[in-house]
Amino acid sequence: MSLFSRRQFLKASVAVGTVSSFSALPLHATSRKATDAVTLGNSGMQVTRLAFGTGSNNGYVQAALGQQEFTRLVHYAYDRGIRFFETAEAYATPAMLGEALKGIPRDSYQLMTKVTTDKGVDPQKRFDEMRRTSQSEYFDIMLLHWQHTPDWVAATGLWQDGILEAQSKKIIRARGASVHGLPALRQMPGNKWLEVAMIRMNHNGTVMDGPDYRQDINPANVDEVVEHVKQVKKDGMGVISMKLIGNGAFTRHEDRQAAMRFAFKNAGIDSATVGFKSTREIDEAIDNMNLALA
């Protein structure tokens, strides 16, 4: 059992996360733009509302750009005001993103990654490997990746303890999980370990949570997903959403606008990650989010 066990943590109610610096983009309470900084619940972590996602088709869409073009795209997003970048251990992009971010002041952006919760693995060694790959001394947000079963909370105890230990060393600053399927999502409300919840969201249920974790069209379950989002926000969690363009299925501009509007206006999410492969897509996502927030 880790020195920083979940039982000790919950009993003591000690917050081990730290507030991330965001010197380049100060927080404005009345600001409603895609590139504004927002605080994720009670975590103290500030991120831009729009995140640069690098996991389209598990990152192979971004990897296909090649390092030079991908770096150019990352720098373009940064210059447009996006200061939140997302990857995952299981994606093809962590090393590419680390290379692309070289030379940019580390305290001027936030880096979120997701760890695969394998059994029989030392979490601290895994985190060290991930830091080397990403060329970063720390991660602003670490998520338990692809939690898709109703027993994931009990099954990931080793990883929860490991993240708490890493937080105490400031290797990780905020913690959370990404879930797939209603059985897994239903475990989020009331979970005192979670600081950040990553939840799939759009206006018509495309590649959203349904009766199991399989990616499908689940329009009948959108209302339940929204209720869970509202509940975890009441619990003090920050909510980051994915699949706002239906995993690339929304080829009509009006659907991409509607999904963004629904996520922020109806569900009330804090931030959203969108996978990009061109500057045009970055510009459009910023415009769509600004319109949704107006």
pLDDT block averages, 10 residues each, the chain of length 294? 51 42 46 93 98 97 98 98 98 98 98 97 98 98 98 98 98 98 98 98 94 85 97 98 92 96 98 98 98 96
Task: Kindly report the pTM of this predicted structure.
Answer: 0.91
For residue 65, the SS3 value is: coil
What is the three-class DSSP state of 79?
Answer: helix
Do residues 212 and 184 lie in contact, with contact meaning Cβ atoms separated by under 8 Å? no
Looking at the domain assignment, is residue 5 inside a domain?
no
- How much is the pLDDT for 146? 97
pLDDT score for 215: 74
Question: Is residue 72 one of the residues assigned to a domain?
Answer: yes
pLDDT of residue 217: 82
Count of domains for the chain: 1
CB neighbours of 271 closer than 8 A, spacing ≥ 6?
A: 38, 40, 47, 48, 49, 50, 51, 84, 238, 239, 240, 241
- pLDDT given for residue 200 in this prediction: 96
Q: Which residue in 158, 100, 157, 93 sits closest to 125, CA to CA?
A: 158
Q: 234 vs 13, 154, 158, CA distance in Å?
A: 17, 23, 27
User: What backbone phi and psi angles, to 5 degrees, belong to 258?
Assistant: -65, -40
Look at residue 175 and tell me if it is in a domain: yes
- Helix locations, 32-93, DSSP H: 60-63, 67-79
| Residue 5, pLDDT score | 56
Q: What is the pLDDT of residue 30?
A: 59
Nearest to 28 by CA among 42, 59, 49, 56: 49
SS3 67: helix
pLDDT at 212: 87
Whether 6 maps to a domain, the answer reads: no
Answer yes or no: is 14 within a domain.
no
Instruction: Find the CATH number of the domain harbouring 250.
Output: 3.20.20.100
- Find out whether 223 and 210 touch, Cβ atoms under 8 Å: no
**Would you say residue 15 lies in a domain?**
no
Domain encompassing residue 63: 23-293
